[in-house]
Amino acid sequence: MISRWLTAAVLSAGLTSGPVLATPLRLPPTTRATLKNGLVVVVMPTHRLPLVDFRLVVRAGSVNDPVGKEGLAGLTAELLTQGAGARSARQIAEEIAFVGGTLSANAGTEQIVVTCEVLKKDFAVGLELLRDVTVHPTFPAEEFARKKDETLGEIASNKDDPATVANNALGPFLLGQSPLAHPTIGWEKSVDSLTREDVAEFHARHVHPENAMLAVVGDVEPSAVVAAMEKAFSGWSAGGTKPGDAYTPVPQARGRSLLIVDKPEVTQTQIRLACMGVPRNHPDYYPITVANTILGAGFTSRLVNEIRVVQGLTYSISSRFGMFRNAGTFRISTFTKNETIRKTIDETLTVVKALLEAGPSEEELEKAKRYLTGQFPLGLQAPDALAAQLLDIEFYGLDAKYVETYADRINAVTMTDCRRALKSYFCVDDLRILVVSNPEVAKKALEGLGPIEVQEPQ
């Protein structure tokens, strides 16, 4: 089964809301409580399906990996479900599957996320497992050894996927030594150095109730949920201090530089153009979102129109802001056959430059606002999607009325705001340009764009 376009491009547009709704978006009321131990709990009842979604976020991720221990947050998260409380890895897997549920734990750049989805009747099973894997993981030595070995295997496997090679190489190329630079999975060498003690210590240091937040969305009654959480998490005591953000913003390097990641066998070259962006809770979030939609999110954006629809150079091109708590990146991602690498880069830069210089038309501005406001409610139907949205508000410190006011704020973006955003936060001259390709072919194609380095996939 193959689809018309990559949905990732749409997801990267960010979730947003609109003037076209027949009726305004009305979500069920949220109940927010802070448990005695400091854990923030947000509950939203939705009764369409007999499902309950739990989502627990810890404010720690790969940015908290010590230097030389890249991959530690990721491995710690992976191991949460591999032994907890009185249960072995196998028992945890068996119990959640037996009720038809899912339970998973993963680390991102700034978060460890534990999710659990069960049928309503299995609320208690889901809650106990979620609580135990978060609070009482046992990190058995044999599971540590197995997961570490699997992680090394996956790092090898990732070298076979050109898009992953591109994304993993872009971090250090753009962000240098910043803790934001490395992929969550880590590097072969750093993962190889991890010990079980590293994992246990990472958990002990970061996974505390006052450093975490929990959303429960689904077919539930909020006051009963809060009481159940107070009971379930009563043994989880506050500890240590709330860690601050483990990094500072990365300054923008001037000029252009290029990196070729050596993958001689490909017939299609992955391309990334990137610079520094903005943190998530930025005062110009809405103008930036609208401007980026016009440039490279959505099917009628300038980049998709010119590079895919008109010129047939690619199947997918998108621009997106990766926004963290304390910094951010901007990147354009695409791919094309090896014969048209330079043409694709040149045409892409022409599109960006034209938009930055002349700004969008009134029609484009209006279309982008309608698109964003229309997409917003579509992304808020499923209980797990709602849980993620509720915790984003908590995590990034957004307006408590974020969902309700989204459409109005998008609609308030003026042409002046949009042009300011384009001039201030988008880039065309100070750029890192990365390609994953045959180096001989790519060197010729990139000639004259700036200094070129070549490296092997990491």
How many CB atoms are located within 10 Å of the residue 169 CB? 23
The reply to whether 51 sits near other proteins by the rule CB under 8 A is yes
CA distance 387 to 43: 8
Among 33, 228, 356, 452, binds other proteins (CB under 8 A): 228
| Helix (H) / strand (E) containing 334 | strand 328-337
DSSP class of residue 22? S
Residue 103 beta carbon to other proteins: minimum distance, rounded to whole angstroms: 9
State which of positions 326-345 bind other proteins (CB under 8 A).
Answer: 335-338
State which of positions 406-435 bind other proteins (CB under 8 A).
Answer: none
The reply to whether 48 sits near other proteins by the rule CB under 8 A is yes
DSSP class of residue 122? G
| Helix (H) / strand (E) containing 191 | helix 188-192
Query: By C-alpha distance, which of 273, 292, 284 is closest to 9?
Result: 292
CA distance 85 to 180: 32
Among 193, 370, 392, 395, binds other proteins (CB under 8 A): 370
Q: Residue 167 or residue 329: which is nearer to other proteins going by CB?
A: 167
State which of positions 297-316 bind other proteins (CB under 8 A).
Answer: 298-300, 305, 308-316
Stretch that binds other proteins, among 61-69, 169-177, 369-377, 392-400 (CB under 8 A): 369-377
Q: How many residues does the chain have?
A: 458
The reply to whether 47 sits near other proteins by the rule CB under 8 A is yes
| Helix (H) / strand (E) containing 379 | none
The reply to whether 189 sits near other proteins by the rule CB under 8 A is no
Q: Residue 281 or residue 316: which is nearer to other proteins going by CB?
A: 316
State which of positions 247-276 bind other proteins (CB under 8 A).
Answer: 264-268
Phi-psi category of residue 365: left, alpha or beta, with phi > 0 → left and psi -120 to 50 → alpha: alpha
State which of positions 163-182 bind other proteins (CB under 8 A).
Answer: 164
Q: Residue 40 or residue 238: which is nearer to other proteins going by CB?
A: 40
State which of positions 4-33 bind other proteins (CB under 8 A).
Answer: 4-5, 7, 10, 18, 20-25
Six token digits for residue 87: 């249960």
The reply to whether 149 sits near other proteins by the rule CB under 8 A is yes
DSSP 349-363: HHHHHHHHHH---HH
Number of residues that bind other proteins (CB under 8 A): 102
